[in-house]
Amino acid sequence: MGMLTGAETEKLHEEYVMQPWAMQGRPSLPVQKAEGIYFWDYDGKKYADMSSLLVCTNLGHSNPDILEAISRQMKSMCFMAPAYATEAKSTLAKLLVEAAGADVYRRVFFCNGGADSNENAIKMARMVTGRTKVFSAYLSYHGATLGAGNASGDWRRFASEIGGANGFVHFMNPHMYQDGYTRGVDDEACTAYFLKALEKQMHFEGTDHIAALIMESIVGANGVILPPKGYMEGVRALCDTYGILMICDEVMAGFCRTGKMFGWQNFDMKPDMITFAKGVTCGYLPLGGVIVNAKVADYFKDHVLQCGLTYSGHTLACAAGVAAVTYYTEHHICDHVKKMEAILRDFLNRMVEKHVCVGEARCIGLFSALEIVKDKEKRIPMVSYGVKNPIMPSIMSELKNRGFSTFGRENNINICPPLTITKEELKEYLPVLDDVLTWVDETYCK
């Protein structure tokens, strides 16, 4: 290791690696090292990681506390089968239950990542309720395995639907800006409309056939879409009325990303199950899981939990998780996020006022996105949903060329930096985004 040049690394990747969500054989930036909020290519060019890669490196790259925990665990034991208790697994489960609320939640089932966390939560819901159908939103992404893929709402579900999986039903969730509502003014009307439509759809699907409703507490990859006031509480109430288990996907929104340990804690409701991944180890090692409430946990005291995988509660990954979750708490990361949110929110609001290409800014904690439009008055997105268009890739490329690394989907630019970012770092790199938006105005909005 460490003997290849950047060009050699890129060539091998191009020839041998299957790149997710892309046509193959395309160039890929070779990265040599990463630290803090930065990573570097082999030519020494520095990039600010303004999306925490895939919204997972919450505590930045090469965090010494997590690295030390991994190193220490490696010296005693890297892996033990799921049937055995280990200090790392037991400790992490306790920390996660306490973070969610030990008055409601009881146990954790560990998985490898977000997709299989959602997969297993769906299986549990079906076992506990004896029902089959699973409701999920169109504006969502829950993973690429068969069940999680079918639960996902965006175009990435299509391959999972080939041959299909039974019982998955999609409903339209609110996107206030694109639906023509004004946040802070029309929340009540928007919430009432979408809850009425959801309840009607539940009746048409048969309320006694619905096992679970799974949704992201804050829609992540599809554009950090914030629900209107009262919507999450209304969905919870519908689930209670019809005996449906509510699953909150916290894979992106969890672990202080919104200024709360979990995104759902921003609302006056509690899900039955919480799925997590990404930030639990900051992506240093693959780990995910499902936190379940007393109702779900107690069911499996008398019934076999028909879920399992070789690496459930992987020892090394759990050690990284203990270090990360401890770091969030001991370093008061939620408090820091709220302070940085004020700076980020002010900047994003100014971008809406300044640029003709920016329709809306959405921000909660350090979880944010800009809605890029070609007609601000009519709220026409720069790129229509599901239509291939080179404009957004060109914007992302322009940002990366200037050392500002992030991602977006459809017509969104996501800004979700590591939660350890300083005000000085924010003020250094946010002007890069401002400059690129000026370029977008001049290039695509004439």
Contact of 276 with 93, CB cutoff 8 Å: no
User: Residue 95: what residue type?
Assistant: L
Question: pLDDT for 401-414, tens place per residue?
Answer: 999 999 998 899 99
- Please choose, from the candidates 430, 224, 436, 432, the residue with its C-alpha nearest in 3D space to the C-alpha of residue 343: 430
Torsion sign across C-alpha atoms 418, 423, 424, 426: positive
Q: Under CATH, what is the fold of the domain 65-331?
A: Aspartate Aminotransferase; domain 2 (3.40.640)
User: What is the CB-side half-sphere exposure of residue 46 using CA atoms within 13 A?
Assistant: 6
Residue 162: pLDDT above 90? no
**Amino acid 219: pLDDT:** 98
Report residue 151 as tokens: 């639960």
Mean pLDDT computed over 215-230: 97
Residue 224: pLDDT above 90? yes
Report residue 393 as tokens: 């890739």
Determine how β-strand 245-249 pairs with β-strand 273-276. Answer: parallel
CB within 8 Å of 429: residues ≥ 6 apart: 48, 50, 403, 404
Taking CA atoms, 158 is separated from 121, 161, 163, 169, in Å, by 21, 5, 10, 14
Distance (Å, rounded) from C-alpha 439 to C-alpha 445? 10
User: What is the CB-side half-sphere exposure of residue 382 using CA atoms within 13 A?
Assistant: 29
Contact of 332 with 415, CB cutoff 8 Å: no
User: What is the CB-side half-sphere exposure of residue 298 using CA atoms within 13 A?
Assistant: 6
- For residue 320, what pLDDT band results from cuts at 50, 70 and 90? very high
**Amino acid 153: pLDDT:** 93
Residue 164: pLDDT above 80? no
Q: Kindly report the number of other CB atoms within 10 A of residue 36's CB atom.
A: 18
Mean pLDDT computed over 178-204: 98
**Amino acid 384: pLDDT:** 87
Domain with CATH 3.40.640.10 in the chain: 65-331
Residue 318: pLDDT above 90? yes
Question: pLDDT for 61-117, tens place per residue?
Answer: 999 999 999 999 999 999 999 999 999 999 999 999 999 999 999 999 999 999 999
CATH code given to domain 332-417: 3.90.1150.10
Domain with CATH 3.90.1150.10 in the chain: 332-417
Distance (Å, rounded) from C-alpha 151 to C-alpha 141? 8
Question: pLDDT for 394-403, tens place per residue?
Answer: 999 999 999 9
- Please choose, from the candidates 116, 114, 96, the residue with its C-alpha nearest in 3D space to the C-alpha of residue 106: 96
**Amino acid 330: pLDDT:** 98
Contact of 290 with 148, CB cutoff 8 Å: no
103 burial via Cβ count (<10 Å: 0-12, 13-18, 19+): exposed
Given strand 245-249, what is the order of strands in its sheet? 105-111, 288-293, 273-276, 245-249, 210-216, 133-137, 168-171
Question: pLDDT for 15-43, tens place per residue?
Answer: 999 999 888 988 899 999 999 999 999 99
- For the chain, what is the mean pLDDT? 97
- For residue 442, what pLDDT band results from cuts at 50, 70 and 90? very high
**Amino acid 1: pLDDT:** 60
- For residue 446, what pLDDT band results from cuts at 50, 70 and 90? confident
Contact of 347 with 90, CB cutoff 8 Å: no
- For residue 135, what pLDDT band results from cuts at 50, 70 and 90? very high
Contact of 255 with 261, CB cutoff 8 Å: yes
Question: pLDDT for 340-392, tens place per residue?
Answer: 999 999 999 999 999 999 999 999 999 999 999 999 999 999 998 888 889 99
